[in-house]
Amino acid sequence: QSALTQPASVSGSPGQSITISCTGTSSDVGGYNFVSWYQQHPGKAPKFMIYEVSNRPSGVSNRFSGSKSGNTASLTISGLQAEDEADYYCSSYTSSATWVFGGGTKVTVL
Amino acid sequence: EVQLVESGGGLVQPGKSLRLSCAASGFTFTTYWTHWVRQAPGKGLVWVSRIRNDGIETNYADSVKGRFTISRDNAKNTVYLQLNSLTAEDTAVYYCGRVPMAAGGMGIDHWGQGTLVTVSS
């Protein structure tokens, strides 16, 4: 049950687009379309942002989008805003009927 | 309003036990899986365990298997996590969250605010 691999940090200027990658294996990310993404501000509980690779829950801005290719999933934030500065985590269902999270990516708005 | 409220955290000595609770309200509890996820201070999210709506199926991360036990009381809309043989590495905020039974791979759509467990002598 190794953690999914995410970059430690990603940064961008307001209005720009950034992409966060999430790399697993064929036993998790590559084997299922059960990848979800979460946003977490300091001291707060995580917030549900994307489910089943590319679906947005109601209330989540359409500036957030998800995709997957092979064993790597990605979260793209377009039109970056100051409020997007937070930690982001991917998660996937696994072939062991467990779940695994990525190590997290700190997004900085320059 | 959907609410998940964790309780039971605190300071505990290494080797001791603790039971966490996750009380749910504002939705039909028996149509959801319940998961536990933990976060050590300054670290990332780590999945711990989940339990199906009927309490029959449970799954655990390797790091806690054999030490932690998840259970639920649907009459009380509450899920429990029994933590045994605690070590300093179990120090974390423990969150509970729900996942719809109808879409078990969907992800955790609501989270509680967490309860802090500190293991120290």
pLDDT digits (tens, 9 = 90+) for B91-101: 999 999 999 88
Question: With an 8 Å Cβ cutoff, are B106 and A1 in contact?
Answer: no
Report the relative pairing of strands A9-12 and A105-109 from DSSP bridges.
parallel
Residue A48 is nearest to which of B61, B95, B109, comparing CB atoms?
B109
**B13 Cα to chain A: minimum distance (Å):** 25
pLDDT digits (tens, 9 = 90+) for A48-101: 999 999 999 999 999 999 999 999 999 999 999 999 999 999 999 999 999 999
- Cα separation, B68 vs B61, in Å, equals 10
Residue A51 is nearest to which of B107, B111, B112, comparing CB atoms?
B107
- Over residues B40-45, the mean pLDDT reads 97
Tell me the two tokens of residue A30. 């590559």
pLDDT, chain A, mean: 97
pLDDT of A97? 93
pLDDT of A90? 98
Are the CB atoms for A28 and A87 separated by under 8 Å? no
Q: What is B34-68 written as a DSSP string?
A: EEEEEE-TTS-EEEEEEE-TTS--EEE-TTTTTTE
- Over residues B102-110, the mean pLDDT reads 86
In degrees and rounded to multiples of 5, residue A52 shows phi and psi of 45, 50
**A78 Cα to chain B: minimum distance (Å):** 22
Cα A61 to the center of its chain, rounded Å: 14
Cα B97 to the center of its chain, rounded Å: 8
Q: List, in order, residues 6 or more apart from A49 with CB less than 8 Å away.
A: A36, A37, A38, A39, A56, A57, A60, A64, A75, A88
